[in-house]
Every structure is written in C-alpha cells, then in structure tokens.
Amino acid sequence: MIKSIWKRSLSFGLILVFLFSLTACGGKNSISTPNQSDDSTKKVKEEAKKTGFSWDMAKGEEIKILFNQHPYAEAVIKKIPDFEEKTGIKVDYSITPEENYFDKVTTSLNSRSGDPDIFMTGAYQIWEYAPPGYIQDLSEFIDDPNMTASDYDIDDFYSGILGALRWDLVPGHKTGTGPQWALPMGFEAYTLAYNKRIFEENGLKPPKTMDELLDVTTKLNEFDGKGTYGLALRGSRNWATIHPGYMSTFVNYGAKDFEIKDGKLVSMVNSKEAVEMTDMWVNLIRSGGSPSWSSYTWYQAGADLGAGKAAMLFDADVVSYFQNPEGASKEAGNISWVSAPLPEGKTEVNSNLWTWALAMNKESKHKQAAWLFLQYFTGKEYSLWASVNAKVVNPARQSVFEHPDFVEVIKKADGYAEVFKETIDGTTIQFTPQPHFFETTTEWAATLQEIVAGKFGSTQEGMDALQKKINKTVEDIEVE
C-alpha cells in the first residue's frame, strides 16, 4: 500500500517537473513591438538608399506567396512570369481554398519562420495579425522614394478602400488612421442584384426600400415552381454571413455594433434599430429565402442567382458580376444592379466593405523582393490589365475605374457602374475593430440562425442573449 502511494507520488512529481520544464521552454518567445521598425527593415532601407529604386534591386532572390483560391489570385498568377522577368525575382506560390485559408495563414505567421513572404488578407484579419506583430507596416516602404517606384501613386487608391487597411492598433478605434498594413487588390461593396427577365415576367420593379424588398421577395417565392425563391442571402454559421448585406443594412437602419462606455466596448446588437433591422432580415429569409439558407455561403447564393433559382441576390456586387458574363451561368446577361434598399425615410446609401489585399510577413527574410512584388501587383499597370482582362472587379484604383477600357468592360453589366458610383462614398468598414471580431460575428451568425429557426420567443429576446454573449467575449478589452 505504502509502495503504491510512493509510486503515485513519484509519478505526480515527475508530471509536475515535466510541466514546469515546459514552462521554462514556453516563456522564451520573443516580443516585438508591432509598429516599430525592426532591424531587417532598416537594413533593407539602407541598402536601397545606396542604389536608389530600380525594379531589379532584389535580383536573384526567391519569395513565397500564399494565395486564397479566388479570381483575384488567378489574375496575379497569370502575370507572375512577367514580374519574374522584370525583376529577376523567383516566385514560389501555393493556393489554399478559402475554407481553410486563414487557418494556414495564422499558423504560418505564428511560427515566425518568415514563410510566406506575402499573403492575401482581408481588413478584419489585420485586427488579429497586426497587434502581435505578425505583419509588416508598409508605410515605411511607401514613404521611401528609394524603395517605391515614382509612378506608384498611392493617392490613386480610393481613400475608403486604402483606409480600411490602416489601423492604429487600438481596439474600438475606427480604421483609416495608423500604419498601412496591407494594399488592396480589389474590393466588394454590397448591392442588390436582380434578374431582369424574372422581374419583367412577373411585372415587378426593383425595390428601393426594405419594405418594397420584403414585398417583392414574398411575391417571388416559388416564382417558377418548387425550388425557386425570391432572395438569395448567405446564412452559414460563419462570420461571413454577417458582413455583407446584413451589416450594410444594419448600418443603414442607424444601428451600431459597439459603443465605448467607461473604457469598455459595449455591444449594441439589441438596440431598437438593430432589433428592427434583424426582424426585417428574418422576415426576408422566412418569406422568400432559400430553404437551405442556413448552409449558404456566397458560392451557393451566387450560383442560385446565376442558375435562375433565385430572383435576387443581396451580397457582394462582384459575386453577381461573376455570374453575368456570357457563358458564365444560365442567366448570364439577365442580371442587373440597384443600390442596397434603404429603410423608409433614409436616403444615404452605406455599405460595408470587404477588400482582398496583399500583406507582408514581418518575419520575411526577403523584404525588398516582397515589397517589389506588392508594388507590382497593386500598381497601376497591373491593376488595369487585371480589371480589363481578368475578373478583378472592383478595382481599388480610381484611374482604373475611370479608364476607357474598363468603362467599356463594365458597360456590359447593366446598372453596375451607376450603383458603384452611388455606393462608393458610403463604402467603408462598418464594424468596430476589435481582436475578437471572428468570435463575436460567428456568434452573431449562430444567433441569427436560431432566431430564423424560432428558438427565441422574439427577435428582441435573441438579440438580448447575443448582446450578453458578445459583452462576455470582449470584456477583457480595454479601450484607451
């Protein structure tokens, strides 16, 4: 008996020793200040100072790029040989489907191995990657004439799009100030796409208000028999369900996601405006949404519009745009666009924003070569080529959007350019930057699913429960 106790104590002791030895290993991770110029950046800048800018200044280097599977990435890949020829830099790239893309990026950045040198990102991911110092502050390169081509013209980017990728690292502070963490490849605004043929056949006009949208959605339910429906929306249990049409409409109703009270972020998802808007959204889904709404991502929602199963799509303008070129879908050529419907009495169109951008790994061992890659693939020449010859809509550069060649391309999409112009000024990141963004918005999507499924007695009850959960999640955030 005594022997057994002794053995157990010894085992327990060994486990403790093992754990404490791990503690010693674990604490040794280096800390880097996110917005402080590091030694490798200084070295690269000093080298550039000696020679001045030239496209072959990093000749012979090799860089690794991580792409998300997306038409924007396909366009870049087509032009990589041209870049390699111009710069003498070798590019090695890999593509990962969107479903697992950010898991891969996160673990790569966390390993601090410097691989990949460049990766695709969105604005929301910057709120997670910039505070721990995973990504390079690009302002240091943009402002340096020895590092940046004289014709790069940073002011040519739409300020709202470029500003979405700037942030001062303070939770609760809006985007638009602070270091430039990434540069945009293209972006999405959220508008209403509709099928002209179906609308004409049913004697309907595209809706301008949310009430009209509900009315049309209800009328178009099963417009062509079982399986057809009025309005395609995203609905999967994922943050991406909240950020397109839902968040744009949320803001158009005058609702906010957070307010700062006593140095803390306080969720406002159960405010009067937020509940009224969510109630409308739930009604839209129930009266004319897809029966499989809760599993829908943008792929399915876009495909249903293209297949003529859905009469409307309230999502990214580019999602419906991809369905419209000849041969792209069954309903190609029949798709038209109007601005996001507004609540009664509102005139100002606001839209949330998504931008696919290129960012640099702060631990990259080839920063000069990586910066040349970034410049080339966000520069004027490439952007124009990609927008005219590949599927890069919407271009983030004003000169490209106004270029006659692109105007000619966009003319084929009925109403697209007009809606773009109506929406662009009100297009920005509508969320409050905070590091738990993905957790709070995923919870938001799950609650929306539960409200639609009738789990709560009312929308207010559901949003009250959500508010409590979000407040608990963000309680550790101190706002300066």
Partner 1 sequence: MSTQNKTIVDINHYTKIPFLVKARPYLIMLPALLITIGILYPFGIAIYYSLTNFSFRSPTFKFVGFKNWSDMFLNRDFWHAVLVTGKYALFTTGSEMLLGLGIALLLSRASRFTKILKVVLIFPLMIAPVIATLIWQLMTNTSVGILEKFLNIFGIYNFPWASSAKTAMFTATVIDIWVYAPFVIILILAGIQSLPKSPFESAKIDGGSAWFTFKTLTLPMLKPYMYIALIFRLMASLQEFSIIFALTKGGPGDTLMNLSITGYNTGFAFLKLGKSLPYVLFLWIIIYVISKKLVGKWLKVQKNASGN
Task: Report the sign of the C-alpha dihedral through residues 443, 449, 452, 456, in that order.
Answer: negative
Is 329 a binding residue for partner 1 by CB under 8 A? The answer is no
The stretch among 43-51, 75-83, 100-108, 148-156 that binds partner 1 (CB under 8 A) is 100-108
Least separation, in Å, of the C-beta of 28 and partner 1?
Answer: 9
Told to check if 455 binds partner 1 by CB under 8 A, we report yes
* Of 87, 290, 394, 430, the one binding partner 1 by CB under 8 A: 290
Please state the closest distance from residue 221 (CB atom) to partner 1, in A: 11
**If we measure between CA atoms, which residue out of 302, 47, 345 comes closest to residue 190?**
302
CB within 8 A of 284, min separation 6: which ones?
Answer: 213, 214, 217, 231, 233
- Please report how close the Cβ of residue 451 comes to partner 1 at its closest, in angstroms: 9
CA gyration radius, the chain: 25
Question: Under a CB-based contact definition with an 8 Å cutoff, are residues 92 and 63 in contact?
Answer: yes
Nearer to partner 1, 79 or 237 (CB): 237
Tell me how long the chain is.
Answer: 480
In angstroms, give the least distance from the CB of 179 to partner 1: 18
Q: Check binding of 283 to partner 1 (CB under 8 A).
A: no
Contact set for partner 1, span 65-94 (CB under 8 A): none
**Considering the rule CB under 8 A, would residue 18 count as an interface residue with partner 1?**
yes
Interacting stretch for partner 1, rule CB under 8 A, among 20-28, 46-54, 137-145, 160-168? 20-28
d(CA 216, CA 312): 10
Q: Find the binding residues for partner 1 in span 106-125 (CB under 8 A).
A: 106-107, 109-110, 112
Rounded-to-5 percentages of helix, strand, coil across the chain: 45, 15, 40
DSSP reduced 3-state for 406: helix
- Smaller CB distance to partner 1: residue 120 or 452? 452
DSSP for 396-412?
SBHHHHTSHHHHHHHHT
**CB contact at 8 A, 180 and 162:** yes
CA neighbor of 95 nearest in space, from 77, 113, 107, 83: 77
Residue 260, beta-bridge partner list: 265
The DSSP 8-state label assigned to residue 398 in this structure reads H
Q: Judged by CB under 8 A, which of 4, 23, 36, 150 binds partner 1?
A: 23
Closest separation in Å from C-beta 109 to partner 1: 8
Residue number, 56 or 103, with CB nearest to partner 1 = 103
Q: Which is nearer to partner 1, 29 or 150 (CB)?
A: 29
Nearest to partner 1 of 3, 226 (CB atom): 226
Helix (H, G, I), strand (E, B) or coil at 199: helix
Token pair, residue 92, equals: 């090695």
Tell whether residue 449 is a contact of partner 1 (CB under 8 A).
yes
| Nearer CB in complex with partner 1: 228/323 | 228
Angstrom CA distances, 439 to 256, 333, 357, 434, 471, stand at 17, 39, 22, 10, 12
For residue 259, the cross-strand partners are 266
Interaction between residue 27 and partner 1 (CB under 8 A): yes
Site string for partner 1, 224-263 (x = CB under 8 A): --xxx-------xxx-------------------------
Could you report how far apart the first and last alpha carbons of the chain are, in Å?
A: 60
Residues that bind partner 1 (CB under 8 A): 15, 18-19, 22-23, 26-27, 29-32, 103, 106-107, 109-110, 112, 128, 131-133, 226-228, 236-238, 290-295, 304, 307, 309, 435-436, 438-439, 442, 446-447, 449-450, 452-453, 455
